[in-house]
């Protein structure tokens, strides 16, 4: 097995690729700057090491066998991966992280978040980058309520967007900045019993109806809940999108982030009602781990995170992340 592995060098894989593209050993030898006999000898050595026949020589041309085709295809993939690794290592040495994980609360505008991802991938830190971008693997994850903060504290995320600022205690090594405030509205389907209620709805009436709540994604910290009454029947769902869908289907009532409900309200799929309890307005923020002191002989890190923080420093970006509505379900906008 070791002999076979040692035979699969980048040079051998590149030789297979050149022969296949050239169509003959003679043409490949000229391109590689070798005499044909030397190239033929190298192919024979590779075939002996792998114990397979890679070329059918009966036609006088370099016609690949089935085994040769497989090696060619896998070899091209391996060469591309080697190039990608080399580029990534070079970029990491220049300060670009290998991976950046961004955790965003479910109420944050996904349209804006993906536009930021597009801008990130459009970066050109190196002119010879084959596909552009900084080479940092970007990972986006959705959290709910305290789960967004927990993802950062646990080290599962490098940047957390949409953290509820109320009740958050400062942590050493964590930088926290305000993102903005988000309105929530109490909404029900048009055929829900509360849609016909006149005037602000009191708590004793809300208690008679099932509420829809999103499960906090925190696993270690104390889960948070909002606007649920003691003893009220609750349908718990996994995401804010599921909560919207449940209320559209009249499976319950509850408060929704205004940007998520906006288009449904305009289309008449949801009805906003006033309640006697105080209307919720959430203060949201974003946070990240502050860089530790540079270590000797260690490359500087953080250019990917620095780019995201630069975008978040823009009031327009922060406003879009909070206030931008979801695309209507029946929209043809691309």
Judgement on whether residues 195 and 144 belong to the same structural domain of the protein: no
- Number of domains comprising the chain: 3
Q: Is residue 328 part of a domain?
A: no
Q: Is residue 332 part of a domain?
A: no
Asked if 252 contacts 235 with a C-beta cutoff of 8 angstroms, the reply is yes
Q: Is residue 43 part of a domain?
A: yes
Judgement on whether residues 75 and 158 belong to the same structural domain of the protein: no
Q: Is 134 exposed, middle or buried (0-12, 13-18, 19+ CB in 10 A)?
A: buried
How far, in Å, CA of 156 to CA of 166, rounded? 22
Q: Which of 270, 104, 95 is nearest to 190 (CA)?
A: 270
What are the two backbone dihedrals, phi and then psi, of residue 103, each rounded to the nearest 5 degrees? -100, 130
At 102, the pLDDT band (50, 70, 90 cuts) reads very high
Q: Which of 121-125, 193-197, 233-237, 314-318 has the lowest mean pLDDT?
A: 121-125
Q: Is the pLDDT of residue 323 over 80?
A: yes
Q: Is residue 249 part of a domain?
A: yes
What is the residue-wise DSSP string for 158-185? SEEEEEE-TTPPP-TTEEEEEEEEEEEE
Q: Which of 54-58, 228-232, 295-299 has the lowest mean pLDDT?
A: 295-299
Mean pLDDT, to the nearest integer, of 76-104?
72
At 75, the pLDDT band (50, 70, 90 cuts) reads confident
Give pLDDT, residue 129.
47
Q: Is the pLDDT of residue 278 over 70?
A: yes
pLDDT tens digits for 40-51?
888 888 888 888
Give pLDDT, residue 326.
61
Q: Is residue 294 part of a domain?
A: yes
Give pLDDT, residue 56.
80
Q: Is residue 330 part of a domain?
A: no
Give pLDDT, residue 86.
61
List the CATH number of the domain containing 231: 3.40.190.290
pLDDT tens digits for 237-277?
999 999 999 999 999 999 999 999 999 999 999 999 999 88
The alpha carbons of the chain give a radius of gyration, in whole angstroms, of 29
What is the residue-wise DSSP string for 286-316? EEEEPPPPPPTT-----HHHHHHHHHHTSHH
Q: Is the pLDDT of residue 224 over 80?
A: no
Taking the CB of residue 2, how many other CB atoms lie within 10 A of it?
Answer: 6
Judgement on whether residues 220 and 269 belong to the same structural domain of the protein: yes
Q: Is residue 333 part of a domain?
A: no
pLDDT tens digits for 118-152?
999 998 765 444 444 677 889 999 998 888 988 88
Judgement on whether residues 295 and 235 belong to the same structural domain of the protein: no
- Of the two residues 16 and 300, the one the predictor is more confident about is 16
- 187 three-state secondary structure: strand
Judgement on whether residues 110 and 239 belong to the same structural domain of the protein: no
pLDDT tens digits for 151-188?
888 888 899 999 988 877 777 788 999 999 999 999 99
- Which residues does residue 141 pair with via DSSP β-bridges, in sequence order? 103
pLDDT tens digits for 30-42?
888 888 888 888 8
Judgement on whether residues 155 and 215 belong to the same structural domain of the protein: no
Domain housing 73: 2-93
How far, in Å, CA of 186 to CA of 192, rounded? 13
């Amino acid at each position: 097995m070791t002999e076979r592995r040692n035979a699969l060098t980048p040079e051998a894989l590149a030789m297979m690729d050149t022969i296949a593209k050239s169509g003959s050993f003679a043409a490949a030898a000229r391109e590689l700057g070798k005499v044909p006999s030397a190239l033929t000898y190298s192919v024979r050595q590779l075939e002996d090491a792998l114990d397979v026949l890679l070329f059918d020589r009966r036609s006088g041309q370099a016609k690949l066998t089935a085994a040769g085709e497989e090696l060619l295809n896998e070899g091209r993939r391996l060469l591309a991966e080697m190039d990608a690794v080399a580029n990534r290592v070079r970029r990491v040495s220049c300060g670009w992280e290998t991976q950046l994980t961004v955790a965003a609360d479910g109420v944050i505008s996904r349209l804006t978040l993906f536009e930021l991802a597009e801008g990130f991938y459009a970066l050109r830190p190196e002119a010879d980058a084959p596909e552009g971008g900084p080479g940092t693997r970007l990972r986006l994850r959705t959290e709910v309520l305290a789960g967004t903060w927990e993802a950062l504290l646990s080290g599962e995320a490098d940047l957390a967007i949409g953290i509820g600022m109320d009740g958050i205690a400062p942590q050493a090594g964590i930088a926290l900045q305000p993102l903005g405030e988000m309105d929530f509205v109490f909404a029900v389907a048009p055929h829900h019993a509360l849609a016909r209620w006149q005037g602000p709805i009191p708590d004793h009436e809300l208690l008679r109806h099932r509420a829809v709540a999103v499960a906090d994604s925190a696993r270690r910290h104390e889960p948070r809940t909002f606007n649920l009454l003691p003893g009220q029947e609750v349908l718990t769902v996994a995401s804010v999108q599921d909560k919207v869908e449940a209320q559209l289907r009249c499976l319950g009532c509850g408060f929704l982030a205004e940007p998520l409900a906006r288009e449904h309200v305009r289309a008449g799929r949801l009805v906003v009602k006033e309640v006697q309890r105080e209307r919720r307005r959430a203060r949201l923020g974003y946070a990240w781990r502050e860089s530790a002191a540079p270590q000797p002989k260690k490359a500087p890190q953080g250019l990917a995170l620095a780019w995201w923080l630069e975008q978040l420093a823009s009031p327009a970006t922060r406003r879009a992340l909070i206030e931008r509505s979801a695309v209507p379900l029946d929209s043809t906008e691309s």
